[in-house]
A and B are shown apart, each in its own frame.
Chain A
Amino acid sequence: MGTLAVELKDVTASYMGAERPAIHGVSLAVGAGEFAALVGPNGAGKTTILEVILGLLPYQGGNARVFGEEVRRAGRRLRLLMAYLPQALSFPPDTPFLARDVVLMGRFGRHRPWRRLPAAEIRRAEAALEEMGLAHKARWPVGHLSGGEQRRLLLARALAKGARLFLLDEPLSSLDPEARADLAGRIRGLRARGITILAVFHEEDLLDEVDRAFFVRAGRVRGIPVPIRDLRGLMAGVS
């Protein structure tokens, strides 16, 4: 493995008020440009691992690094290099923002609050929408997009953001087969751009892309990493 995009060493993290850690002694590493999968039963701690990497959940033990920098120290700056597609995120119909605004918001953290947003940012957002096949819906209310379109919109936001590490939490869940195949194709397309992907999924659509997989159970990562040939059987067992 060359340069590491993600490196967790013996990480333990708990949610506020919880009696037990959500993940305990988790170690894993993902190389830059790799496609890594987190698999395991519901409630095993997969989303928690993504939240630790993103710096949304502080870890109490061990060490988490992204692109060589410690998440605890450089969390906010590192977040500019990461994109997150949260699990089951769906914008309801009355969400008061347009699709293009959602994409633009991915870049807001890079600019001083009171400064005018450069025109280049708008062009960048429009190019990302075009790439994800959503240019014609740029001025639609985000809640009026279908489930598949909303996921594509978040990928467009991640592209416009210029993220180098995509953390995808069940990106294909609850989509019809057509939308799932379309989104899986677009996620595959990200690899050609050298983007590192760490994804949680239960579907088989992306299995052939996986370079490295980690099996999460009861807050621990077991067998690092899982041999790819065993992955299909392992996922079938989980589901």
Chain B
Amino acid sequence: MWDILLPSLVAALLVGWLCGLWGAVVVRLQLAAVGFAMAHAAFAGAALGLVLGVSPFPVSLVFSLFLAAILGPLTETTRLPAEVVLGVVFPVTMALGFVFLSLVPGPAFSSPALSLLWGSILGAGWKDVAILAAVLGGSGVFLLLFRREVFSILLERRLAEEAGIPTRPYTWAVLFVVGSLVAASLRLVGGILIYSLLLIPAAAAAQLAYDMKAILAIAGGMGAAAAGAGFLASYALDLPLGAAISLVGAMFLAVATLISPKRRRPRPI
């Protein structure tokens, strides 16, 4: 049985680590909503992949990156607030996804099609693990090499530009990483859980540390721990996997908030 469960567990740990780590960056850049929209664009892309009978991963990657590419110009051209543009983009990508799913040969909304929405981590194989490990490794090396530039942008964009750092290509690189992690994780955990794994560990880590390096380490570890513990809880208690991971993550956040040094009252003198 562990022949089946082990790759799924490893995949869950990697997704949790990846989303936790980059969630901390995305939240600090105020791009969490963009991550959510990218997850649904990836859903539409993966559905198109099913229609065309090709691997969903590259198509969902192209869709999520295309969305990231058009969001800025769309906001500037329409002169609408980013949240309104995202509010329009989200249902449109969902609608596209459902239209593509209805065109998938065979029974409508078959199991592989629905797994794009809710994920099916138990179907993960070592190939999925390898893709996730490659995204985690590649993005980790990027962060290690360009940490000074990324951190400068996370502090304040104008100050980063003032320091001579070109903020646009680095922001693009971050979006590319988020697009890649969304595309690699979508079929395994679904769009909604990706969003939860991007946000919850980042929020919990921000309760516990004042330093970005520590926040990245804690968020990555907490994402992996939530995914691993959720996976085991789901197996032991026969709970839906995505729900179990989200609830464990929410528990971590609640504990982090309770023990946060940022909430400590000053001692009376």
A2 contacts chain B at the CB level, 8 A cutoff = no
Of the candidates A76, A82, A94, A102, the one whose C-beta lies within 8 Å of that of B166 is A76
B155-173: CB near A (< 8 Å → 1, else 0) gives 1101111111110000000
| Contact present for B161 and A94 (CB under 8 Å) | no
Contacts of B262 in A (CB 8 A): 93-94
Within 8 A of A (CB), among B183-240: 206, 209-212, 215
Contacts of A80 in B (CB 8 A): 164
Of the candidates B163, B206, B210, B212, the one whose C-beta lies within 8 Å of that of A108 is B163
Q: Output the nearest chain B residue to A102 by Cβ-Cβ distance.
A: B155
B257 contacts chain A at the CB level, 8 A cutoff = no
Taking the closest CB of chain B, its distance from the CB of A166, in whole angstroms, is 11
Of the candidates A56, A77, A107, the one whose C-beta lies within 8 Å of that of B161 is A56
Most chain A Cβ neighbours within 10 Å, of B79, B148, B149, B165: B148
| Contact present for B162 and A79 (CB under 8 Å) | yes
Number of inter-chain CB pairs below 8 Å:
84
A147 contacts chain B at the CB level, 8 A cutoff = no
| CA–CA, A238 and B73, complex, Å | 37
Contacts of B84 in A (CB 8 A): none
| Contact present for A109 and B164 (CB under 8 Å) | yes
| Contact present for B148 and A96 (CB under 8 Å) | no
Of the candidates B154, B158, B166, B212, the one whose C-beta lies within 8 Å of that of A86 is B158
Interface of chain B: mostly helix, strand, loop or mixed: helix
Contacts of B148 in A (CB 8 A): 105, 108, 111, 113, 117
| CA–CA, A86 and B28, complex, Å | 20
| CA–CA, A110 and B159, complex, Å | 14
Of the candidates A56, A97, A161, the one whose C-beta lies within 8 Å of that of B155 is A97
Contacts of A108 in B (CB 8 A): 148-149, 152, 163-165
B57-99: CB near A (< 8 Å → 1, else 0) gives 0000000000000000000100100000000000000000000
Taking the closest CB of chain A, its distance from the CB of B193, in whole angstroms, is 25
A95 contacts chain B at the CB level, 8 A cutoff = yes
Taking the closest CB of chain A, its distance from the CB of B79, in whole angstroms, is 6
Most chain A Cβ neighbours within 10 Å, of B146, B151, B159: B159
Count class of interface residues, chain A: 35 or more
A151-168: CB near B (< 8 Å → 1, else 0) gives 000000100010000000
| CA–CA, A54 and B163, complex, Å | 11
Given A84-B158, A86-B158, residue A96 in contact with residue B163 (CB < 8 A): no
A135 contacts chain B at the CB level, 8 A cutoff = no
| Contact present for B163 and A161 (CB under 8 Å) | yes
Of the candidates B155, B163, B210, the one whose C-beta lies within 8 Å of that of A109 is B163
| Contact present for A89 and B162 (CB under 8 Å) | no
| Contact present for B164 and A79 (CB under 8 Å) | yes
Given A113-B146, A141-B210, residue A97 in contact with residue B151 (CB < 8 A): yes
Within 8 A of B (CB), among A82-108: 82-84, 86, 89, 91, 93-98, 101-102, 105-108
Taking the closest CB of chain A, its distance from the CB of B91, in whole angstroms, is 25
Of the candidates A84, A91, A96, A106, the one whose C-beta lies within 8 Å of that of B212 is A96
Other A-B pairs beyond A79-B164, A105-B163, A141-B211, 18, CB < 8 Å: A16-B76, A17-B76, A54-B162, A77-B164, A79-B163, A86-B159, A89-B156, A94-B262, A96-B28, A96-B212, A96-B215, A97-B151, A98-B210, A107-B163, A108-B163, A109-B163, A109-B165, A141-B210
Listed by A's residue number, 25 A-B pairs whose Cβ atoms lie within 8 Å are A56-B158, A56-B162, A76-B164, A76-B166, A80-B164, A83-B162, A84-B158, A86-B158, A86-B159, A89-B156, A89-B158, A93-B262, A96-B210, A97-B211, A98-B210, A105-B152, A105-B155, A106-B159, A106-B163, A108-B148, A109-B163, A110-B164, A113-B149, A141-B211, A161-B163
Which B residues form the contact surface with A (CB < 8 A)?
28, 76, 79, 145-146, 148-149, 151-152, 154-156, 158-166, 206, 209-212, 215, 262
